[in-house]
Amino acid sequence: MTQTPLLSLSDLKSYYDSAAGTIRAVDGVSLDLYAGEILGIVGESGSGKSTLSLSLLGLLDPPGRIAGGELWFQGEDLLALDESGWQNIRGKKIGMIFQSPEGSFNPISTIGQQIAEALQAHRTLSRREAEAEAEMALALVRMPQPREIFERYPFELSLGMCQRASLALALSLHPAVLIADEPTASLDIVSQAAMASLFLELQATHNLSLIIISHDLGLVRTIADRVVVMHAGKIVEEGPSDQVLEAPRHPYTQGLVSSELRLDR
C-alpha cells in the first residue's frame, strides 16, 4: 500500500511504574490506520488494549508513562506534544467514545446544548449555527427525531440512544479518526446491532476512519476491515478480520475464537 497512514504507531511502549515493579501494559506495538478504514483491536481484559487507547489520546496519567516508540498523526509527532498541544488534537482531530455513554454527558443539561457548546468551544460559531450543526450531527447518527432528541436530558434516553448521542458529539467536530473503546459493551443486543450497522454506514458514506477496541469478536468480525489481536501488551496476530477471526494461525487467537459462544455452532 503506497498510501500514507493517517495514524501510525511504531514500537509504542506504555508502562506503569509501581512499588511492585514496572508493568509493561503496552510493550512494543506497531500499527497503521489508513483513511476510511475500520481497524479492530481485540484482546481480553488485562491485554493492554485500554492502555493503548489512552496512549493514543494522550490520556495516560501517572503512574503510567509512554516509555518509548513513536506515534505519528497526519505528519505530526504526537509524543512531542504538551497538554495544550493535545487539546488541539483530542476531540477535534481524534474523536473518542467510551463504554459508558452516560459519562460523556453532563446530566443537568440537554443533549443538544452540550453538542452545541462543544462546537462553540472549538470553532467560532454563533449560537444558532452551533445548534443547527448539533442537530445535523444528531441526524447523522440516525437519531429518529433529531429535533426532539436535541431537547432531551441524558437520563431521558435509553443507553443505546445515549451512546448514539455520544457518537454524534464525537463526530460533530469532524475528527479525522475516531477511537471507540468497547462502544457496545454496555448496550443491549438490538442496540449493539444498530450501532454496528451505523459504523458501517458512516464508513461507506463519510469515509469514517475508526479504531474499535473490543473483546467482542462478533462485533469486530462484523465491522472491522483489519484486526490486531493483543495479548500481554503485544500484538500476537494481525490481518484482514475475516481471515484472523475465522481461520486464526496463532494459538492464542485460536483459543479466543474457539471459546466464543455462537448461536450457529
Contact flag: residue 5 with another protein (CB under 8 A): no
> CB under 8 A: which stretch of 85-93, 105-113, 146-154, 215-223 binds another protein?
215-223
Q: In what order do the strands lie in the sheet with 234-240?
A: 94-97, 177-181, 210-214, 38-42, 226-231, 234-240
**101 phi-psi bin (left φ>0, alpha ψ -120 to 50, beta other):** alpha
162-201: which residues touch another protein (CB under 8 A)? 188-190, 192-194, 196-197
Q: Which of 4, 63, 109, 254 binds another protein (CB under 8 A)?
A: 63
Q: Are strands 38-42 and 7-18 parallel, antiparallel or unpaired?
A: unpaired
Measure the CA–CA gap between 253 and 51, rounded to whole angstroms. Answer: 20
Q: Total number of residues binding another protein (CB under 8 A)?
A: 43
Closest distance of CB 200 from another protein, Å: 10
Contact flag: residue 108 with another protein (CB under 8 A): no
Contact flag: residue 226 with another protein (CB under 8 A): no
Contact flag: residue 218 with another protein (CB under 8 A): yes
Q: Which CB, 137 or 187, lies closer to another protein?
A: 187
Closest distance of CB 247 from another protein, Å: 8
Contact flag: residue 253 with another protein (CB under 8 A): no
Q: Which residues contact 102 (CB under 8 A, 6 or more apart)?
A: 154, 159, 162
Query: Which residue from 214, 180, 186 is spatially nearest to 95, judged by alpha carbons?
Result: 180
Contact flag: residue 11 with another protein (CB under 8 A): no
Contact flag: residue 94 with another protein (CB under 8 A): no
Contact flag: residue 44 with another protein (CB under 8 A): yes
Measured CA angle at 241 (ends 237, 246), to 5 deg: 85
In degrees and rounded to multiples of 5, residue 256 shows phi and psi of -60, -50
Query: Residue 19 corresponds to which amino acid?
Result: A
CA 97 to chain CA centroid, nearest Å: 6
- The distance in angstroms from the start CA to the end CA of the chain is 36
Closest distance of CB 99 from another protein, Å: 10
Contact flag: residue 54 with another protein (CB under 8 A): yes
The binding site for another protein (CB under 8 A) comprises: 16, 18-21, 23, 25, 44-46, 48, 50-51, 54, 63-64, 159, 188-190, 192-194, 196-197, 215-219, 221-222, 242, 246-247, 255-256, 259-264
